[in-house]
Amino acid sequence: MNLNFYKGKRVFLTGHTGFKGMWLSLLLLQAGAEVTGYALDAPTEGGTEALQRLGILKEMRDIRGDVRDLSALSRAFDEAKPEIVLHLAAQPIVRESYRQPVDTFAANVMGTVNLLECVRMSDTVQSALVVTTDKVYENKEWAWGYRENEPLMGCDPYSASKSCAELAVYSYRQSFFADGGVCLSTARAGNVIGGGDFAPDRIIPDCIRAAVRGAVIDIRNPHSTRPYQHVLEPLSVYLTIAAQQTENPRLVGAWNVGPDDADCVTTGALADIFCRAWGARARWQTHADGGPHEAHFLKLDCSKLKAELGWQPRWHIREAVEKTVEWAKAWESGADMRAVTEAQIAEFKRF
């Protein structure tokens, strides 16, 4: 993960107060980038505390704002004069999208359009990457992975909103950036785990919360299969795409960012791996809650990423879970989380 490209670069990062954004901010700061973060407050109390314990906000330009507010976003963007744009801000929870569909579409679709409009009006941006999800595809629940040229769809409001965001990016790229003046791509990432994720309705954070209490872990859909990867895996890809497409515009387009087939496991298998890593007699049980529809099987084909960028995963599912447990236990013990997080990044880079 060579980050020399980012030294001295002006980077505009939306969603820097979220789980992925927190890690990405630290990577960029380590690389010597001049980072402007634009986001709402952290969505959880744990996220707010994590930002404080990591101490990254005092090292970057921290702007609190809503991507749905084009005027505020434009002002922040114009002041930052970014060369690189990384768009992570979103409403990212499937079940929350059923509870708040209008807000989900507003944040994920119009928030993306507003960001693209700022890029269009800029005379400094060289490269932009919009992060979506593996759930953008028309999921037929077949056994093989989806490729970037598969049809887009979305049953739940979250998936549909991200599919719409993909179409907005494609439209702007064809309408305004076809001359190559701005290199614009999307990254469709699979399920991500790692330290610092305090979101509700996510399997590993739910496991950690139960394990800390000494409670039995409730698993809603133990037979659902998903691609899981440590947070550093997709972030390293995001930074690689944004850097390399500036030198090779042929790389512009949509990118699947997921783990190897061996790391596409059932939720029950993931919970087993977690319980072994956590120890202390951690255990789980099936607890269906009659919630809304969620896909049972989803897998990505990342052949393009491997062929074009030479990507290979560093940490597989067991290492990813072990590193997440290591981070969570350090958090509970009151450790220096900046040191813990930087140690994991250093280990990842060496792998």
pLDDT, tens digit, for every residue of 20-32?
Answer: 999 999 999 999 9
Predicted confidence (pLDDT) at residue 177 exceeds the cutoff of 80: yes
Q: Is there a contact between 234 and 192 (Cβ–Cβ < 8 Å)?
A: yes
Amino acid at the residue 65: G
**Is 55 within a domain?**
yes
Q: Is 156 contained in some domain?
A: yes
Token pair listed for 201:
């309705």
pLDDT(292) > 80: no
Tokens at 109, concatenated: 């679709």
The answer to whether position 2 is within a domain reads: no
What is residue 261's predicted lDDT score, i.e. its pLDDT? 85
Cα 116–Cα 121–Cα 125 angle in degrees, nearest 5: 75
Are the C-beta atoms of 296 and 225 separated by less than 8 Å? yes
Q: Looking up tokens 């979103």, which residue turns up? A: 90
H or E element, residue 342 = helix 337-350
| Distances in whole angstroms, Cα of residue 317 to Cα of each of 112, 179, 258 | 31, 41, 12
Assess if residue 31 is contained within a domain.
yes
Q: What's the confidence (pLDDT) of residue 188? A: 97
DSSP class per residue in 131-199: E--GGGB-----SSPBPTTSPB--SSHHHHHHHHHHHHHHHHHHHHSTTSSSEEEEEEE-EEE-TT---
CA distance 108 to 114: 10
List phi, psi (to 5°) of 114: -60, -40
Q: What is the DSSP string of 3-65?
A: -GGGTT-EEEEETTTSHHHHHHHHHHHHTT-EEEEEEPSPSSHHHHHHHHHHT-GGGSEEEE-
Average pLDDT over residues 217-231: 91
* Segments forming the whole domain that contains residue 98: 7-350
Give mean pLDDT, residues 94-108: 96
Q: Give the per-residue pLDDT at 32.
A: 98
Number of domains in the chain: 1
Any idea how long the chain is?
351
- As a whole number of angstroms, the distance between CA 293 and CA 312 comes to 32
CA–CA gap between residue 189 and residue 148 (Å, rounded): 12
Phi, psi angle pair for 174, to nearest 5° = -75, -35
Give the confidence band of 141 by pLDDT, cuts at 50, 70, 90. Answer: confident
What pLDDT score was predicted for residue 290?
60
293: pLDDT strictly greater than 70: no
Residue 1 within any structural domain of the chain:
no
Confidence of residue 297 (pLDDT cuts 50, 70, 90): confident
Between CA 305 and CA 319 the distance in angstroms is: 21
- Dist CA 222 CA 199 (whole Å): 19
Residue 264 lies in a domain: yes
Burial of residue 117, with CB atoms counted within 10 A of its CB: 0-12 exposed, 13-18 middle, 19 or more buried: middle
Q: CA of 328: how far to CAs of 197, 261, 278, 335, in Å?
A: 9, 26, 10, 10
User: Does residue 307 form part of some domain?
Assistant: yes
pLDDT tens for 10-20 read 999 999 999 99
Which pLDDT tens digit goes with each residue over 67-97? 999 999 999 999 999 999 999 999 999 999 9
Q: Tell me, what CATH number does 277's domain have?
A: 3.40.50.720
Task: Give yes or no for residue 332 having a pLDDT over 80.
Answer: yes
Mean pLDDT, rounded, for 113-129: 98
Instruction: Report, in angstroms and rounded to the nearest whole number, the Rg of the chain calculated over CA atoms.
Output: 19
**pLDDT over 70 percentage in the chain:** 97
What pLDDT, on the 0 to 100 scale, is given for residue 291?
64
Q: Determine, yes or no, domain membership for 149.
A: yes
Q: Which amino acid is at 237?
A: V
